[in-house]
Chain A
Amino acid sequence: MKRAEQLRLLEGLHTVETVAETLRITPQAALNLLGKLKKEQQVTVSGGGRRKRLYKITLRKQLPRVPGMFDIINKYSPNFQVNPWYDHQVHGKYGPEEALIDVLQTESFRLILASMHLFNHITDWPKLYQLAQKKDCWQKVGALYDVARMFMKVRKMPEKYRECVKMRWLTLTQLTKKNFPEISKIWKVYIPFNPNDVRQAL
């Protein structure tokens, strides 16, 4: 049987036994085949030890990834995960500061909600401020920070960054709701989510 045909039959999640059964071969032959497919980057393995080994088999190569915006969000927001709608990868230096700015550009309600956990991992405030200034979104960062600190543990933002020129009203998403009116007024930012939404993201 040709490799392409084998892959088409096997595409999905398997154990050694199901591979052997699908291709009608012995478990040892299945193991050998999985080893070859792993070398060809068509298989990734999970489990092992006490847990059963699971083989994810795909028709296309499973290339190694470098983390992007969604990976960072999901890493720091364990209870409120986001399903990526495209594969974002950044080759180069990329941390919570860069991810937060990228999130704000998406204007996605769920993503921005999940990104509030990043404030506990911001270590380089000058860098965040500089990145935000470039994208003209420091007001949004400030508003999001103030909402986040009401509900979760966050790292302290230096006071000097509170003083910035707030010329016009900005929106985080397309919604122009005035939740958290005090924070909204201070930063001149429409905050789309209410306290219940934030509690869900904790």
Chain B
Amino acid sequence: MITHKDQLELFQLISSQLDQNVECYVFGGTAMMFYGYKGETKDIDLLFQNISAREAFMDALRKLGYSESSPLTIYIPEKLKDKHAPIMLKRDESRFDLFTDKIFQTLLSQKMKNDLFAVHEFKTKHTLTMKVLRTEFIVMLKSVTERNKDFEDILTIVKKDKNFAWDYFIDEVLWQTAQGDGWVLLDVEKMMKELKKYVFIEEKWFKKLYGKDKK
């Protein structure tokens, strides 16, 4: 497990090992730590826009003693068949899940790129730029990744984020579906039904989600 302070030190160290400037999007437990919703995390989920950026990042991780590990016990086997499944690098208790271009079938949309919560730049010789996504996107992506504790994290976000925009969230889910993501709608529906047991979710959001199905 790594704490917020640890992760800042780790990213600074990674940036010192980079051979080029790298930019990535942060969406898992790491993002929640940047928000202050979580004290520690095991997995660091990052999304890169191209393979060369991911390779540069992986090279830096290897220099720090990280090595590839199998995602088999972490993700659902069906999802791992997808060509956009992550590459995992692990060292001791910390693990990096590195995606490129898509998180399984879910695209990095223009909205995700433009509507950021935070940007953290780690500057040494080269710069590691980490763009933290909005909570709505984190919840959507956590619904898609479906790992242990992902639901707990979703619950924490929805409980603590008073400004969680359901409308915005469902719009993005529907947009992703329209772009050909075959999982996001089902995963989000399943998550929302489970979430309803713990927090109040207005019926209209379910209707909005199903409305697209009927079409």
B136 to chain A, nearest CB (A): 14
Whether a CB of chain B sits under 8 angstroms from the CB of A53 is no
Is B4 touching A94 in the complex (CB atoms < 8 A)?
A: no
Q: A89-B121, A91-B122 are in contact. Are A61 and B36 (CB under 8 A)?
A: yes
A selection of 7 A-B contacts at a CB cut-off of 8 Å is A11-B162, A63-B34, A89-B119, A89-B121, A91-B121, A91-B123, A92-B121
Is B4's CB under 8 angstroms from A91's CB?
no
Contacts of A59 in B (CB 8 A): 160-162
Do residues A90 and B123 form an inter-chain contact, with CB atoms below 8 A? yes
B206 within 8 A of A: no
Q: Which residues of A contact B (CB under 8 A)?
A: 4, 11, 41, 58-63, 68, 86-94
| Chain B proximity of A85: nearest CB distance (Å) | 9
Chain A residues with Cβ below 8 Å from B205 are: none
Q: How far is the CA of A58 from the CA of B163 in the complex (A)?
A: 13
Please list the 5 inter-chain residue pairs (A to B) with the smallest Cβ-Cβ separation, ordered nearest first. A92-B123, A61-B36, A87-B118, A60-B36, A59-B160
Total A-B residue pairs with C-beta atoms closer than 8 Å? Answer: 55
CB of B123 within 8 A of CB of A89, answer no
Q: How many residues on chain B are close to A (CB under 8 Å)?
A: 25
- CA A14 to CA B35, docked complex, whole Å: 22
- Which of chain A's residues have a CB closer than 8 A to the CB of B119? 68, 86-89
User: What mask results when residues 34 to 70 of chain B are scored 1 for a CB within 8 Å of chain A, else 0?
Assistant: 1111010000000000000000000000000000000
Main secondary structure of the interface of B (DSSP, over half): mixed
B1-35 CB contacts (< 8 Å) to partner A? 4, 8, 11-12, 15, 34-35
* Chain A residue at smallest Cβ distance from B124: A92
User: B18 to nearest A CB, angstroms?
Assistant: 12
The residue from B36, B116, B161 contacting A41, defined by CB atoms under 8 A apart: B36
Q: Is the CB of B36 within 8 A of A63?
A: yes
Return the CB mask of B101-135 against A: 1 if under 8 Å, else 0: 00000000000000011111111100100001000
CB of A91 within 8 A of CB of B8, answer yes
Closest CB-CB distance, B59 to chain A, in whole Å?
Answer: 20
The residue from A11, A91, A93 contacting B120, defined by CB atoms under 8 A apart: A91
In the complex, the answer to whether A90 meets B160 with C-beta atoms within 8 Å is no
Q: Is the CB of A90 within 8 A of B117?
A: no
Q: How far is the CA of A89 from the CA of B124 in the complex (A)?
A: 14
Contacts beyond the supplied A92-B12, A94-B121: 6 A-B pairs with Cβ under 8 Å: A11-B162, A60-B37, A62-B36, A86-B116, A89-B119, A92-B121
Distance between A117 CB and nearest chain B CB, rounded to angstroms: 22
A89 with B12: CB separation less than 8 A: no
